[in-house]
Structure formats: structure tokens, C-alpha cells
Amino acid sequence: MNETVRTSIFVAGAALSLLAAQFVGSNVLKSPQEYSQVGSEFYPDFTNADAAKFLQVVNYNNETATVRIFGVEQGADGVWRIPSRNGYPVDGKDRLAKSATSIIGIKREGLAGQRKNQHVEFGVLDPLAESVTDFKGVGNRLILKESKDGTTLADLIIGKEVKGANGMFYVRKPTEEQTYRAKVSLEVSTKFADWIEPDLLKLDGTKLRTVIIEKHSIERTPQGARMSGKETNALTRATASDKWALEGSNEATEEVNEDEVRKLVQALDDLKIVGVRPKNDKLKKRLQDDQGLALDERTRNEMEDIGFFFFRHPERKVMTMVSQEGDLVAITDQGVAYELHFGAVFSGSEDEVEAGFIKQPDEAAAVEKTTDEKADDEKPGSKKIKSRYLFAQAQFSPEGIGPKPEAPVKPEAPPEEAVNDAANLDTPADAVTAENVAEKPDLKQAYEAALSAYDSAVKKYESDLAAYDDKVKAGEKLVKDLNRRFADWYYVISGDSFENLRQGRKTLVKEKVVTEKPGEAKPADEAK
């Protein structure tokens, strides 16, 4: 091999070696820096859950193909609220503490990848990034701050669960490209009902004594409002162990449908809030001060938009509220009358039901959907949840507690001369018989017995009256507490709850089944 060829081979070999080194170098892990973070916490300085005054959770909803943003924050007044749900107050701080605590101490257990193009595979794409196009790879982003605009305490994107590693997830910081495996046990919910007191009435079904259902429908037409389907049904029972009786039913041929009444009672006992809408400030203030509705133009428009209309009463010459789908009054043995007024239907996604993000339908539009609208609901990702607006109030009703105890009547003392005459009877010995002795009782002894019974009755009356007064005070306080809670909000309840509450005679009664007694002869016309 001559020198020229040997030199060419050496040059070519050197060039190939250089190219190989460059190629390999481009695929070798850049530096041990990412590995050096393994075992360290993502946010080691975040150790106090109480420091968090702002929590936000962002995730992607596959069913609706939308990004869902849910958060809670503490206001200047110290009250925790849900900004994305019309500022509705959070109930209980335990969930907040658990949510913050579950993020403290999350560690980088191992490096999963360090390239941006791996984010889809690990499910750690940022749901808040404008550049995201493949939502299948979007993760859940959790942000904790000292305040909405304050220092960030923690900010993580939680991706897919690592296969074969229970409780291990792919996790990264939004500001970093590296993805790590980390053990995550989150106590964070984006469900509205998980953050509030969902039990609207806080009513114990066993305490119900009267339920009055005013059923009707109001339809707005160019010619004016028209009411249809009007009927009133009243259910009563003396105690929780008694059966319900329906006023006006024919006991010979009808009986209360216990299954449907049970649904009614359960719906009242467990009536859940699924959405809220704020009332205007003027109306809030009046209701908080127990001054009733303020029928200014804004309030009237606000309420009529959601199915609560006002008409002038022909006799009392005052404006009266009429609900689009009737009313229900439930009275308990605590003396509380819950007044539920049913407004317009509302259909929308979960977010829309909770906070009302969609435009309200025109007043003249029909409440029920058209065939085309129903068909749209059946399309993937467009399913709508049907719900109903509710206006709630409470009144004190002493009739629910029962009659006020009546004071016993003190017996009158017999006249002194009658007592003396009875004590000094001058009857000859031979004239004394059992009959005339019985005819002349000891009036003093009888009076003393009556007086003793009266004293016992007074003690019982005083005890019963004190108990009655305590019930009245407790009932009045409960009514005030409820109205303070109801004052700020129009509520949204589920369509199922509405159907179980607004029942009519058709479902509340059924034909009575008459069983034939053994040996009892059938009527002549039936025997044929």
C-alpha cells in the first residue's frame, strides 16, 4: 500500500470517527444535572399548608373536549370562595388543608425523560399552554399561591400513572422540559359539590308534618302570560310514624302512594345544589334584612329571566310573584316552613349548570326542547344536563310545633258556710244511713284533692310552656339562619330532584286495593 493510499485511509477514518462522535453525542444525556435532582422535592420550601391562600386546578375534560379551570381563594374578608362559580363560599377548611398537604413533599423519584417531544407520551402537556393541539397528552396542572397575584408555592403538572408502579405518576414543572416519576396521592377535587355544603335545606325528613304542592305552568306568549295545569295537593301526618294523608282523597276508593311520597320526602331531605347564580346587591341586602323582595326594574328583569314573574293581585292591589313551574311548602315540627319556588328549565354542560356560562333562552321560547335540539344533545361531547332554577325562602310557622300549652284552671274553694254545714251535720243516730252519708261528702277534702291536682298540673304546664318557648326560639333562629343563607343566591337543582318534588295527584294517590275477607259473599252484580 503506497503512502498516498495509507494517508487517505487515515484521513477517512478520522473523519468517520469525528462524525460518529458527533452523532452519538447528540443522543447521549446532556449532563448529570437532571439525575442529580432525583430524590429531591419539587418545592422543598413549601412546608406550611396554611400559607396557601389560592388553589387552582386545571384539567382537560374528554367528554366535553374542553379545558376545565377550577379554583378557590381566600378573600380580604377571610372567606374562602370559588371565583369560577360566581364567588360561592367554600364550606369547611379541611378539604383545603388536605389539598395543600397532598402537594407538600412530592419528590422526584426517577428521571423519566428530558425531551419536550416526550410530554405527550407521559401526559404532561400544559393545559394552559396556547400551543397545545394534542389534548390526549394534557395533564392536570395544580397551582398553589400565597394569594392570587402572590408568590407561587407549588406549580406542577401531573400526567399519566406509571404502569406497574402503584401510586407513581409522571410529573414535571411547567417551566421545565424534564419529566420525572413521582409518588402522588392527591386530595384535590374539581367538583363543585365537593367544595360546598351541597345539602340546600338541611332538612330532616322525619320532622316533616305538612307538604303543600302548588302545581301549575306559566307560558309567556305575545298575548300575555297563560297558566295551565293548576292543582293543589296537601299531605299531612301527625308524627313521623304515622302514614301520610292526602287532603281531599276518597278513603273508600283511594290511598296515598307511599312509594311516590317516599321519593318526595327523600328529595326534600337530600335536596342538592348543582349550581348557583348571584342575586343583585339591592335584593341581597333586603332579603338579608328580612325586608322582602325589592321590586325595582333590575330585580324584576333578573327574576323574570329565570322564570319568576310578577302580577298585580286583583284584590290586594299589590304585586305577587308567580313561579313558572309552581311552588312547594314543607312544614316541619320545628316550626319552619320551607318555601320552594320552581323557575325555568336550564340545560347545559356541567360547568354551565354550575355557573351559567350560556346565554339564557328568550322569554317567549318554549321550555321544552325541539326535536332538532334533542338530536343535538345526542351528538358526542354535546350532552346537556337538564336542571331547574329554584328560589328558596323560609318562614316561621308555629302550627308546625303544635298548639301552645294552656294554663290549668285553679279550682274554686267551696263557701265557708258550706264547709261548716258539712262538718256539723245534726243527724239523729237512728236516721244515719249509707245513702245520706254519701249525699253529704267532705267538701274540704274534695277541694284539697283538686288543689293538689292543680298544683301538679301547673308544674307540668310550666315545663311544657318552657319547652314550647324553646322550640319557638330555636325555630325562629333556624328560619333567620336559613334566610341569611338563601338571601344571596338563586339555586339550580337537578331535573330529577324537580320531578320528585313537583308531584301531582296523579302520582300521589292510587286506587285502593280491596281484599275479600274469607267467607265473605260477593255482591250480586259481581257474582254474575
- pLDDT, residue 190, reads 82
Side-chain half-sphere of 399: how many Cα atoms within 13 Å?
A: 9
Q: Is the pLDDT of residue 86 over 70?
A: yes
Average pLDDT over residues 370-393: 65
| Residue 9 pLDDT greater than 50, yes or no | no
Is the model's pLDDT at 21 over the cut of 70?
Answer: no
Q: Residue 425 pLDDT > 60, yes or no?
A: no
Q: Determine what percent of the chain is predicted with pLDDT higher than 70.
A: 78
pLDDT in tens, 285-321: 999 888 877 778 899 999 999 999 988 766 766 778 9
85 pLDDT above the threshold of 50:
yes
**Domain spans in the chain, listed from the N-terminal domain onward:** 33-195, 205-367+379-402+484-511, 416-425+435-479
- Location of C-alpha cell 337537578: 494
Average pLDDT over residues 374-389: 64
User: Rounded distance, CA 122 to CA 159, Å?
Assistant: 6
Q: How confident is the model at residue 251 (pLDDT cuts 50, 70, 90)?
A: confident
Give me the chain's average pLDDT, please. 83
Residue 129 has pLDDT above 70, yes or no: yes
pLDDT score recorded for residue 68: 84
Its sign, for the CA torsion 121, 34, 182, 50, is negative
| Non-local CB neighbours of 340 within 8 Å, separated by 6+ positions | 327, 328, 329, 330, 390, 391, 392, 501
* Contact between residue 293 and residue 302 where contact means Cβ atoms under 8 Å apart: no
Residues 6+ apart with CB under 8 A from 367: 219, 324, 344, 345
The pLDDT of residue 317: 66
- Grouping H, G, I as helix, E, B as strand and the rest as coil, residue 243 is coil
Q: How far apart are CA 101 and CA 297, in angstroms?
A: 48
Asked if 106 and 183 touch (Cβ cutoff 8 Å), the reply is yes
Looking at 112-116, 274-278, 364-368, 461-465, which range is the least confident one? 364-368
Q: Which of 108-117, 218-227, 434-443, 517-526 shows the lowest per-residue confidence on average (mean pLDDT)?
A: 517-526
pLDDT at residue 421 tops 70 = no
SS (H, E, C) 494-524: EHHHHHHHCCCHHHHEEECCCCCCCCCCCCH
pLDDT tens column, 171-190:
999 999 999 999 999 877 88
What is the band of 81 on the pLDDT scale with cuts at 50, 70, 90? Answer: very high
Asked if 455 and 244 count as a contact pair (C-beta separation under 8 A), the reply is no
Q: What is the DSSP letter of 368?
A: S
State the sign of the Cα–Cα–Cα–Cα dihedral 394, 327, 508, 494.
negative
Which residues are CB-neighbours of 513 under 8 A, at least 6 positions away?
none
pLDDT at 52: 93
The mean pLDDT of 78-106, rounded to a whole number, is 87
User: Worst-scoring range by mean pLDDT, 247-251, 331-335, 367-371?
Assistant: 367-371
**pLDDT for 178:** 96
pLDDT at 65: 72
Q: Of 89-98, 367-376, 397-406, 417-426, which gets the smallest average pLDDT?
A: 367-376
In three-state form (DSSP H/G/I as H, E/B as E, the rest C), the secondary structure along 410-465 is: CCCCCCHHHHHHHHCCCCCHHHCCHHHHHCCCCHHHHHHHHHHHHHHHHHHHHHHH
pLDDT of residue 378: 44
Going by C-beta distance under 8 Å and a sequence separation of 6 or more, which residues neighbour residue 121? 113, 137
Other Cβ atoms within 10 Å of 423 Cβ, number: 10
Q: What average pLDDT does the segment 259-266 reach? A: 96
